[in-house]
Every structure is written in structure tokens, then in C-alpha cells.
Structure 1
């Protein structure tokens, strides 16, 4: 775990300073190449999607409990929802960052691959490598679109969630619940769609990993 954390910090630092070449060179001395790094980033993106999906599922459960409010400690209910919102934002930010890292490594891998194809003298082998690149890039594009679709769905949900949390904060009374219930169908539908998008992107990540040799 500490080893993975150190590698993640190293990658982020080198990414910020534009020294990815140094990072890749260092990793290659340990027998870890761009393809391996991309696979790791896809796995991490998938896992972050899973964590975000679970958090949004929890938020949906608590929102449904709020809409069915029958009395009790409304301030406690607000505190639970506010924590859900803050954790959802954290998970969403983690997904954003992880996708950016994956995009960077994928771009570097495909650029290197294209350059190295021209170094192959055999036309047959060169064509075989070019076909493999095209297939891998097509699978990556499918994965990337699935991840971005889920990513795009998060911000509108977070905006609605934030609206409801703030409204509840400003109106800690039963009448506020009645007002929020009018918006409940929209946010529940949007969260349900978001979860479906996340599940699709997670499945796409699994397929990509299985085919990345």
C-alpha cells in the first residue's frame, strides 16, 4: 500500500512539473512500462468509479428517507445529508483526477507506439503492430467515452444535491420537506441514471483490462 501511494505521489509531482519522461524512465528500470502504468490507471479509475457509485447510492438512500420524513430530529437528518454531499464531492473530484491521469498515460503510450512502429523494418510486422494499435485505441476510446459520460453526469447531480442540502439548512422544519418533495423525482431520476452510467463505465473498464495484454 505504501509503495502504491509513493508511486502515485511521484507520478502526480512529475505530471505537475512536466517531467513525465523521468517518471517513465524510472519505472522502466523496475520493468514497469507505459502499458503497465495505463492498466494501473484504468484499474484505479474503475475503483474510484465504484467508490463514487457507492457514495451516490448512500446519498440516494438518505434522500429517500428524507422525502418520507414522518417527524424526528430534522437537524440530524440535515447533518447526514450534508456529510453525504461533502463525501460525494470528494469522490467526484477523485474520479476527475484519476481520469486525467489515465488520459495522460494513454496519450503518451499511443504517441510512443506510433513512433516505434516506424522503427520496425519488416512490413508485415509493422502492419501487425499498426493493427494492434488501432484495436487498442478503439477499445480505449470506448472506455474513455464511458468514463466521461459518467463523469459528465456527476456535476448536475451534485448541483441539485447541494441545492437541497442548502435549502434544508435554511429551513429546518417540516414545511421544508414538503417543498423538497416536489424536486425529489428529478434528483432521484438523475442519480439513478448516474449510477447506470457508472456501472456501464466500470464494465467497460473491466473489458479493456481483460484485453490489454
Structure 2
């Protein structure tokens, strides 16, 4: 990567950071604190993961049904599988975006919290706030780790989906169906692992939301 590209990337990062800061400050001016924004974004990420889980279940059903092809219009089968792949791809991008949204507001929230702790003159209050900050950060790291672990299982499945859809498009014959049959066991296993990981992440999100609401 040459110097000009690195400089451009740095400028873009700084601009995005500035925009995020201005956006969050604007919300606070109308009575919406960073804490509430964070909870809202965790809720949205949780809901997106639920939708993504259902989408991959649906896609698996479409791929499984295709292996039972007994003759007819393979072009229609290709279109159904391609639609399933495209929908899954869209949900994958949404999951990544939701995680990034949580990370941006959490960084701002924790930075502000740390700065405000230093302003306490009462030692007991300062220590209590510090403990709450550390507990919230620990729970947050557990949450974001779970979300990223689930998200990391998506791309390998999408890669296989894409390969099978393209192979079917280029062949539209029994050989393409045979290829899908040969890969179906691995696809089922990977989707099952993704769903289980998504469910753990959704549970972590619910626990985090409940903790934040109770504080």
C-alpha cells in the first residue's frame, strides 16, 4: 500500500469518527444519551441475527430441495438458489454493519465514562462508578466476542453457496445437482453450527440489554 492510499484511508477514518461523534452529540442534545443508543443498537443487532438465522435456515431448505430434482426446469431451480444466496449475502452484510454500529457507540460511551470518573471529588462515588464501568466493559467484550464469533461462521457458508449457484448456472444439468448433493452434508453441518452460534449470541445480547436496563 503506497503512502497516498494510506493517507486517504486515514483521512476517511478521521472523517467517519468525526461524523459519529457529531451524531452522538446531537442525540444527547435532544435527550438521548450514548447508553440508550448502545442498548438500541444491541437490540437491532440481536434482531438482525435472528433474521439472519432464519434466512440461512430457509436457504438450506432451498438447497436441500434442489438435490431432489427429478427433471424439469433447472433454470428455475438456479433462480431460487441464487435468490436464497443473495438474500443470505444481504443479511451477512447487515450483521457486520450492526456490529460496527455497536463498536462505534461503545467506544464513545466508555471514553466519556472514563473521563467523567476523574471528575468525582467523592472517593466512594468514584470507586463505585469505576466498578460499574469495569463490569459493563467486561460484559460488553463478552457480547461483542460472541457476535463476532457467530459472524465469522457466515462467510464460509456463503462461499459454498456461491460456488454451487455458479456451478449450477454454468451447467444446468445433472452434474451440477450431483455436485450439490456431494456438498449438502457439509452445508447442513456448517449452517447448524452457525445457527447454534447465533442463538448463543442472541442470548448474550438479551443478557446485556437486561443488565443495562437494570443499572
SS at match of 1:18: helix
The TM-score with structure 2 as length reference comes to 0.89
Aligned to 1:4: none
Aligned to 1:145: 145
Distance in 1 (alpha carbons) for counterparts of 2:16 and 2:40:
19
Distance in 2 (alpha carbons) for counterparts of 1:207 and 1:59:
29
CA apart distance, 1:71: 2.6
The TM-score with structure 1 as length reference comes to 0.89
Aligned to 2:90: 90
Distance in 2 (alpha carbons) for counterparts of 1:86 and 1:195:
18
Aligned to 1:41: 41
2:199 corresponds to 1:199: yes
Give the conservation status (yes or no) of the 8 Å contact 2:20–2:104. no
Aligned to 1:70: 70
Structure 2 unmatched ranges of 5 or more: 1-13
Structure 1 unmatched ranges of 5 or more: 1-13
CA apart distance, 1:17: 6.4
CA RMSD of aligned residues (A): 1.5
Distance in 1 (alpha carbons) for counterparts of 2:19 and 2:88:
32
* Count of aligned pairs between the two proteins: 200
Distance in 2 (alpha carbons) for counterparts of 1:205 and 1:146:
9
Aligned to 2:136: 136
Aligned to 1:19: 19
CA apart distance, 1:133: 0.6
